[in-house]
Chain A
Amino acid sequence: MKTKFFVTLAAVVLAGSAMLVAAGPPAGNGTITGKVTYTGTPPKMKPIDMTKEPSCAKQHATPVTTENVMTGPGNTLEDVVVFISAGDAGPAEPSGAARYDQKGCQYLPHVLPMQVGQQLQIYNDDQTSHNIHPLAKTNQEWNKSQPAGSPPIDTKYEKPEFIPVKCNIHPWMHGYFVVLSTGHYSVTGQDGAFSLKGLPAGKYTVTAWQEQYGTQTQDVTLGAGESKAITFSFKALPY
């Protein structure tokens, strides 16, 4: 029984490494960089009243706000996921687990990109119970309670999808899992900048996704070792 297990294990390991060698995405050194901005008037983010959860309220000196349209100086857009949606060789070997924290009754980060099949670990750092409820449609929806001091929830997603995440106990908590079938992705910071590195020469479709404004795509043809800069501009509405 035991021998059989080890033989199977060895076979799996061998097959796995063979696949890595054969089907691993070719390395490249091309880069696509750029910026995501908006035109128009974005909505004002509303302050969140956490008085019903004192253990969280006291963690925030100034009230935190909703995060569905985060902007920076110079009309930049934050929390936009920019990724290669076509032309990529496929998912890369993930560099480790994607980590999602519940801290101060907020999701950190607000938008968490990950690859299909990548390990996802969800931590509750608060002194209160949360229920973590990713509203998946393509993947299977689940909903788990995670009281204070529980070990992290260990999971993964098998299909690409933009999954809204909420906590039903604290209705203001809201975030996103962005499950991608590529290893080339980037989330914009407050400066709206993104950078997709290590791209071999080829024809790519680059997609930018913002939770309220949806997706935009651009086609980019990259020579060997070439760097190209592109920009995305979303039309912002005040509601």
Chain B
Amino acid sequence: MKRIAITFALMLPVVVLLLLTSASPCLAQIDHNIKPVNGSAEAKVGGLTGHAAGEQQGGIMLYRRFCVGCHGPAGDGTGENAQWIDPKPRDFTLAVFKCRSTPTGTLPTDDDLFNAVTRGFDTTNMPSWRPLTDQQRANLVAAVKSFSPRWQNEKPGTPITIPAETPINIESVLRGRALFQKMECWKCHGPAGHGDGPSASTLTDSKDNPIRPYNFSTGTRFKCGTTNQDLYRIFMTGLDGTPMPSFNDVLKPEDAWDLVHFLRTLQPLTTQEASLWKAYETAHRSEIKPIGPDNGAGGSK
């Protein structure tokens, strides 16, 4: 009798295990088995090499723990939380990324992806993953690269060069303002940068989801960084997968810095640019042409 009881007690965990591993419909509803196209992807960040493969701390295992809920088991941005999220989680199978140091239409560098994972995306559901170690984040970059065959067939673009910033003065701000008119930034971002230009309501991203142009009055941070260099890089490389084009071929570096200086006046910040503009605006109120159709500040007539 006792022996039977012991045998039963020993068998019980085996039976439970068998039950758990068999295809129970209750457990099979959410498939969290990660499906990379290249399970051995790697990423080079600084002196670190990130690995998608590996037990527990490998990129794919970390992805399964931290990322799968939104980005999905296939990395296509259709995780179980995705339906509640706007902007939608990135689809890694396309390998199209907003925040790049590389020209439009090219793959970003591993550092670009590492910075994105580290920084997170302001005004979206993507948090900063700084609490993870550098090695863990490098492994996650490798996991991101495991979902698209592009990473095996193509090389990342060459990052654009950002020359030293030009001096900040009112002339630079005014030239930047004329460019904001001439380059027709206002058509989407609005005459005051409030994201309310005439084309704003028609914009969709490359997956046909509605998308808003950046409203400069909402905050102090951009999705792809906070510094003047980041701002320069954003409009020069463009945000791939969105309506924001690249201006790298049509703006000279000095023009681009002028535009950066003007854009700073649109933000709710006490910056050198903003105070220069405020002083100029007060002194020359009658001369300033509004930005917008027909009677712009300069450029298009």
A: residues with CB less than 8 A from B are: 52, 54, 127-129, 131-133, 135, 137, 140-148, 150, 153, 168-171
Contacts and interface: CB of A to CB of B under 8 A. Distances in A.
Contact of B243 (A128, A133, A142): A133
Given A142-B104, A168-B188, A168-B203, A147 B182 contact: yes
A94 B212 CA distance: 41
Interface stretch (B13-21, B60-68, B245-253, B282-290): B245-253
B122 interface: no
B176 to A, nearest CB: 15
A152 to B, nearest CB: 11
B105 A142 contact: yes
B258 interface: no
Contacts of B202: 168, 171
A52 B198 contact: yes
Q: Top 5 closest A-B pairs, CB basis?
A: A142-B105, A168-B243, A131-B245, A171-B202, A145-B245
B217 interface: no
Contacts, number: 83
Given A143-B104, A150-B250, A169-B199, A131 B243 contact: yes
B55 interface: no
Contacts of A169: 184, 187-188, 199
7 contacts: A129-B183, A140-B107, A141-B96, A145-B183, A145-B249, A168-B243, A171-B203
Contacts of A145: 183, 238, 245-247, 249-250
A141 B240 contact: yes
| Dominant secondary structure at the A interface | loop
Nearest to A145: B245
Contacts of A135: 206
Nearest to B179: A147
A123 to B, nearest CB: 14
Contacts of B154: 140
In which size bucket is the chain B interface?
20 to 34
A146 B243 contact: no
Nearest to B107: A140
A133 B241 CA distance: 9
A133 B203 CA distance: 12
A140 B105 contact: yes
A109 to B, nearest CB: 22
Given A141-B241, A143-B240, A145-B245, A128 B184 contact: yes
Contacts of B243: 131, 133, 143, 168
Contacts of A133: 243, 245
B106 interface: yes
A145 B188 CA distance: 13
Nearest to A139: B105
A170 B202 CA distance: 9
Nearest to B150: A140
A46 B106 CA distance: 36
A179 to B, nearest CB: 14
A144 B203 contact: no
Given A54-B293, A131-B243, A144 B104 contact: yes
Among B106, B183, B184, B293, max chain A CB count under 10 A is at B184
Interface in B237-280: 238, 240-247, 249-250
B293 A144 contact: no
Nearest to B198: A52
Nearest to B95: A140
Nearest to B251: A145
A117 B254 CA distance: 34
Given A142-B104, A147-B184, A171-B202, 10 more contacts: A128-B184, A129-B187, A133-B243, A140-B154, A141-B206, A141-B240, A143-B105, A143-B243, A144-B238, A168-B202
